[in-house]
Amino acid sequence: MADEQAALRRVATLVAAHRPPDEVFAAVTEEVGRLFAAESAGLARYESGNSISLVAKWGEPTDSVPVGSRWKLGGNDIGMLVLKTGLAARMDNHAEASGQLSALIGKAGVCSTVGAPIVVEGRLWGIMAVGSSGEQSLPANTEARLASFTELVALAVANAEGRAELDASRERIVAAGDEMRRRIERDLHDGAQQQLVSLILELKKAELAAPCAECCHYKHIVRTGQALADVLEGLQEISRGIHPAILSKGGLGPALKALSRRSAVPVQLDLRAERRLPEHVEVALYYVVSEALANAVKHASASVVTIELDTMDPMLRLRICDDGVGGADPTRGSGLVGLAYRIEVLGGRLDLTSPTGHGTVLSITVPVE
C-alpha cells in the first residue's frame, strides 16, 4: 500500500506540473510495471479504423516493440475486450486468443494480462496493460489498482488537450487580427489614400489655372491642398501603425528602426538580426516592441528605452528595458497579458521584471526554426 501510494504521488506530481504527456506516459508505465512486479507494462491509444498504437512501454519482453507501433484490433485480445466493454479485462490463458496484438503478447512469453481502460472526458481514449510470464496469474485486485493510475493518465491527457485547444484558439485569434490589419492597410492604401492623392493632384491643376496668386480663390485652393496633404500624411501614419509596409519589405530590423524614430521616448537599438525571420514571428515581435514603447511613454515615464535583438541561433532573444518607474503588473491590465499570449502562440516565453522605482525589463525568447 505504501509503495502504491508513493507511486501514485510521483505520477500525480508530474501531472500537476503539466509535464509533457510523453513524459507522464513513460513514468506511469514504469511505475505500474515495477509496482505490480510484472515482466512488462504498456500504455496504448485507440486509433481510428479499429486499431491501437503504443505510446509508452516498460520491461524486457517489450524490447522488440518500438513506441509508435500500431496494430489492427480483431479477434480475441485484451485490446478488443476493453474496447468492446469499456471495462477492465484480463486474459490468463492466451491459448485461445487471436489477432495481431495477442500474437505479439504470446511471442513475448506473456501468460497473464490485465488491461484497464483510460477514459478521457467520457470517451474511451486508450488502455493501460500489465503482463506476467510466470505460472501465477496476476492478482485478482490488479484491475482495481490499475484504475487509480489510469485516472491520472486521463487527467494528463485532458490537460494536454485543453492546453492544445487553448493554444490553437490563441493562434487563430492572433492570425485573424494580423490578417485584419493587413487587409485594412491594403484597403487604406488602395482606397482612401489613392482618392486623397487624386484630389491633391486636381487641386494642383486648379492652383496652376488660377488667374492670380493673390486672389482669394487661389489662397483657398492652396490651403485646401495643404490640409488634404496633412490628412494624407496622418492617414499614412495610421496605416503604418496598422501594418507597416517596411515590415513586409525590409524585415524586422528596418521596421524596428522606423518604429524607434517615431517613438516619443529615445530608443537605443542593438539589433543583431542576420537574416529574415518567418513572417508570423516578425509581425508578433514588431507589435510587442510597439506596445512596449507605448507603455514606456504612458505608464513608465521613461527617459530612454533599450532594445536588444539577437537572431544568431535557433532561439531568438529580444530584450526591451526602460529606466522608468517600474511596478508593471500584468494583473492590472490586459496589455502585458496580450503580449504574453502573442509570444506563447509562437511557442516562446515572455518574462517580466519590473521592481518599483527601477524600470521594466521584458525578456522574450522565441524558437525561429
pTM (2 decimals)? 0.50
Do 230 and 104 belong to one domain? no
Give the gyration radius of the chain's Cα atoms.
32
Any domain includes 174: no
Residue at a domain's end among 116, 132, 166:
166
Do 22 and 158 belong to one domain? yes
Q: Please check the confidence at residue 122 and state whether its pLDDT lies above 60.
A: yes
Any domain includes 86: yes
| Torsion-angle region of 217 (φ positive above 0: left; ψ -120 to 50: alpha; else: beta) | alpha
Do 232 and 202 belong to one domain? yes
Q: Is 107 or 154 the better-scoring residue by pLDDT? A: 154
Any domain includes 65: yes
Average pLDDT over residues 240-261: 78
Q: What is the pLDDT of residue 318?
A: 92
Q: Please check the confidence at residue 209 and state whether its pLDDT lies above 90.
A: no
Do 50 and 189 belong to one domain? no
Any domain includes 278: yes
Any domain includes 95: yes
How many other β-carbons are positioned within 10 Å of the β-carbon of residue 185?
A: 19
Any domain includes 256: yes
Q: What are phi and psi of 264, to 5 degrees?
A: -75, -10
Q: What is the pLDDT of residue 94?
A: 62
Do 251 and 229 belong to one domain? no
Q: What is the pLDDT of residue 179?
A: 72
260-306 pLDDT tens trace: 888 888 999 998 876 788 888 888 888 888 888 888 888 888 899 99
Do 113 and 12 belong to one domain? yes
Q: Please check the confidence at residue 206 and state whether its pLDDT lies above 90.
A: no
Q: Please check the confidence at residue 95 and state whether its pLDDT lies above 70.
A: no
Any domain includes 318: yes
Do 10 and 155 belong to one domain? yes
Q: Is 184 or 262 the better-scoring residue by pLDDT? A: 262
Q: What is the pLDDT of residue 63?
A: 65
Q: Please check the confidence at residue 326 and state whether its pLDDT lies above 80.
A: yes
Q: What is the pLDDT of residue 320?
A: 93
Q: Please check the confidence at residue 334 and state whether its pLDDT lies above 70.
A: no
Residue at a domain's end among 108, 137, 166:
166
Do 29 and 158 belong to one domain? yes
Residue at a domain's end among 166, 197, 215:
166
Distances (CA, A) of 211 to 199, 217, 260, 293: 20, 9, 46, 50
Do 46 and 195 belong to one domain? no
Per the structure, how many domains does the chain have?
A: 3
Average pLDDT over residues 142-167: 81
- Residue 232's nearest CA partner among 254, 201, 209, 263 is 201
Do 230 and 316 belong to one domain? no
Instruction: Work out the pLDDT band at 91, boundaries 50, 70, 90.
Output: confident
| Residue-number span of the structural domain to which 209 is assigned | 179-242
Q: What is the pLDDT of residue 304?
A: 92
Q: What is the pLDDT of residue 195?
A: 76
Do 359 and 235 belong to one domain? no
Do 235 and 250 belong to one domain? no
Instruction: Work out the pLDDT band at 238, boundaries 50, 70, 90.
Output: low
267 by Cβ neighbours in 10 Å (0-12 / 13-18 / 19+) ranks as buried
Q: What CATH number is attached to the domain comprising 49?
A: 3.30.450.40
Any domain includes 173: no
Q: What CATH number is attached to the domain comprising 325?
A: 3.30.565.10
